[in-house]
Structure 1
């Protein structure tokens, strides 16, 4: 069963302050995050236009690659 990127991202939430965990924690608080999406372009556009908490899109790109590998 495929899961959304948001669902994958929520597995990375942690009190430890890494770039990945901070992104996951911030996304969890973002009520408009596209929670059902499995589409890279939809998510990247949303993050670029609406998410001021993600300071570097490179973090998203790295996590997207891990998500794709994990969802095969």
Structure 2
């Protein structure tokens, strides 16, 4: 069984880092509404576009999503 996107994203957490992917993961960790069980690109993308003011650009999500897909 593979990890959900959220589980994969949490491997990027690093509270002391200014790396955009680490900041995305750190902020998603504190986002109580983040769809933790979702693993569909469109649903995650829609959620982030509409609710994640902490994500300065969707390119960060796209990059992590690509890495997530390659991790299978």
The residue that corresponds to 1:44 in the other structure is: 45
Provide the aligned C-alpha RMSD in A.
0.6
Is residue 2:41 matched to residue 1:12?
no
Task: Using structure 1 for the length normalisation, give the TM-score.
Answer: 0.96
Aligned length: 71
The residue that corresponds to 2:56 in the other structure is: 55
Instruction: List alignment gaps of at least 5 residues for structure 2.
Output: none
**2 CA distance for matches of 1:31 and 1:49?**
15
The residue that corresponds to 1:68 in the other structure is: 69
Deviations 1:9-43 (A, max 9, x none): 00000021100000000000000000011100000
Task: Using structure 2 for the length normalisation, give the TM-score.
Answer: 0.96
**2 CA distance for matches of 1:18 and 1:62?**
13
Runs (4+) of structure 1 moved beyond 2 Å?
A: none
Instruction: List alignment gaps of at least 5 residues for structure 1.
Output: none
